[in-house]
Amino acid sequence: MIIRKLVIGTIAAAALLTAGAVPATAAEVQPSTLTTTAGSTRIDAGQSVTISGKLIKADATPIAGAEVGISFCFNGFCGEAQAKPVTDAAGAYSATLTPIRTGHYRADFFSADPSIANSGADTAKIVVLHPAEITSFAAGRNAAKAVTASGTIEFPGRYTANPIPVELQYFSFSTYRWTTAATVTATWNGTTWAFAASAEHRKPGAWRAFYAGSPEMFHAAASDLVFVL
């Protein structure tokens, strides 16, 4: 009886060892690749941009009927998905969105199939330029014969620049280009953004106010020309 129990125990232990040596069967997870691109990378505020791309498996087979979440990102933060297009038979997707400021879009595929891995991609930076407008400008000479100028500037869009440097410029007929004679920061006067400046310049000529804008935020703006004797 004791020998029989030992034999049975040995056989059972061998069976367990053999079973442990065989790896558990599981579906192999296949990588996926998601591409994304923006139709434009420099637009005016209020304009839309088309985000499009393709979703494929590692063997380049398209993944059809999959949802792709597209979210807007700026300053290292991405918000919730603004669109969730579904891929077509070729694995392609697209969505038209309107970014409110400079940033980029992030596309993400979260697989509902455990045999296919998640994937994501980012578009290039999309520069969104907001409007600026010099709404008034006047220039003349004071008693000391210096040129004095004043005016107002507005930002009719969603954002306002801070600070707002405005240049007082004259056109040089010797160099045929605009030259900055003074720079002043526009300030809020309770109604609008106003500026005033003066410059020592004896020759008669054309003057203007100029706001250089911001490369990734605001358009440049120039006033109408004023001829000062």
57 Cβ contact partners less than 8 Å away, ≥ 6 residues apart: 30, 31, 32, 33, 63, 116
- The mean pLDDT of the chain is 90
The predicted structure's pLDDT at residue 64:
98
Q: Which amino acid is at 183?
A: T
Q: What does the domain layout of the chain look like in residue ranges?
A: 32-129, 133-228
CA 3, distance to chain mean position in Å, is: 79
Q: Is the peptide bond before 163 cis (omega within 30 degrees of 0)?
A: yes
Is the domain spanning 32-129 CATH 2.60.40.10? The answer is: yes
Do 32-129 and 133-228 agree at the fold level?
A: yes
* pTM metric for this prediction: 0.81
pLDDT at residue 178 greater than cutoff 70: yes
CA 135, distance to chain mean position in Å, is: 29
- 19-75 per-position pLDDT tens digit: 444 443 345 899 999 999 999 999 999 999 999 999 999 999 999 999 999 999 999
The predicted structure's pLDDT at residue 16:
39
Banded pLDDT at 10 (limits 50, 70, 90): very low
The predicted structure's pLDDT at residue 49:
98
Q: Which CATH class is domain 133-228?
A: mainly beta
Q: Report the half-sphere exposure of 139 (CA within 13 A, side-chain side).
A: 27
How far apart are alpha carbons 85 and 96 in whole angstroms? 10
The predicted structure's pLDDT at residue 172:
85
The predicted structure's pLDDT at residue 175:
85
What share of the chain has pLDDT > 70, as a percent? 88
Q: How far is CA 112 from CA 90, 116, 118, 212, in A?
A: 18, 8, 9, 50
How far apart are alpha carbons 81 and 103 in whole angstroms? 15
